Structure 1
Amino acid sequence: MRDAQVVVDVPQDVADVADAVVAELDQVLHSDRFLERKFMLNHIDHYMKKNLDAVQQLQVL
């Protein structure tokens, strides 16, 4: 069985934020060092707040 793919028309800036968040989450999930994970989660939180408009557009999708 193949994984389903969803294609959504997303503005480029929103797509860029999504890609960046996914990349950072991937780094966090593959890190086995607690402090590094904590730092990355704080960094992601800061990034999300800094790019709130684009993130809110993602949530609408």
Structure 2
Amino acid sequence: MLLKKFDENKEALKQIGREAIAESRRLGLPISARDLQNEAEDQATFEQRKRISAA
């Protein structure tokens, strides 16, 4: 139960981060190298899941 809740909270925090980066881009604010790296890793994971589910 706690592990499930932890995973849900982790995903919620990731979503908040994605939204914050999108908002920063929209406002023209600089984005840190760490945020860009995290975004690239997140995108790669998403693409990998997408390819697996398509197969």
Q: TM-score, normalised by structure 2?
A: 0.45
Q: Which has the higher contact order (CA 8 A, sep 6+)?
A: 1
Higher helix residue share:
2
Q: TM-score, normalised by structure 1?
A: 0.42
